[in-house]
């Protein structure tokens, strides 16, 4: 029998499923806290690297305001959210050179939202052949770069992109 070691997954497996508070709100309040994975905080929006990614560079963009749905956003928040989504795509293209992206919003628990009360948009970089037999046969996704290294690269690129 062969083993695939993914020791970072134990943190997710053992973590309480109902965390106290919202990680997006916490991230916007303490964006420089070690381990926050916050890439950018603007006046109304933020970008944060997904701690349990589907692929390297999987990030989320979200409004700072804790609302569950797109219909709850005002015009400025919607505009800033789309601007940050566009900026995020550009950063990911420059840093990671993906062949494409999956972009999605899960609104509500029935739609698969793990964090159902704070709207967020998933941005998942994709490459030709990034889906292979591992997820199909073993239920395992191989992420080839450590999340901290991905975070350092993307954080630097966001700072360069916004002049910070």
Q: Which residues pair with 41 in a beta bridge?
A: 46
Phi and psi dihedrals of 81, rounded to 5? Answer: -65, -45
- Strand, coil or helix: 32: coil
Structure tokens at 148: 């901290």
Given the residues 66, 118, 120, 122, select the one marked as catalytic.
Answer: 120
Phi and psi dihedrals of 50, rounded to 5? Answer: -70, 125
Q: Which residues pair with 122 in a beta bridge?
A: 60, 104
- Is 66 annotated in the active site? no
Active-site amino acid positions:
120
């Amino acid at each position: 029998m062969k083993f695939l070691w993914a020791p970072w997954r134990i943190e997710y497996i053992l973590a309480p499923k109902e965390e106290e508070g919202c990680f997006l709100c916490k991230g916007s309040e303490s964006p420089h806290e070690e381990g926050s994975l916050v890439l950018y905080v603007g006046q109304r929006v933020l970008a944060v690297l997904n701690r349990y990614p589907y692929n390297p560079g999987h990030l989320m963009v979200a409004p700072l305001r804790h609302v569950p749905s797109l219909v709850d956003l005002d015009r400025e928040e919607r505009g800033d959210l789309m601007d940050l989504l566009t900026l995020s795509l550009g950063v990911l293209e420059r840093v990671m050179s993906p062949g494409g992206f999956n972009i999605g919003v899960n609104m509500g628990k029935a739609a698969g939202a793990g964090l159902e009360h704070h709207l967020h948009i998933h941005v998942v970089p994709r490459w030709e052949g990034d889906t292979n037999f591992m997820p199909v046969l073993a239920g395992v996704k191989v992420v080839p770069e450590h999340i901290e290294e991905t975070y350092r690269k993307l954080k630097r690129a966001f700072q360069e992109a916004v002049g910070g």
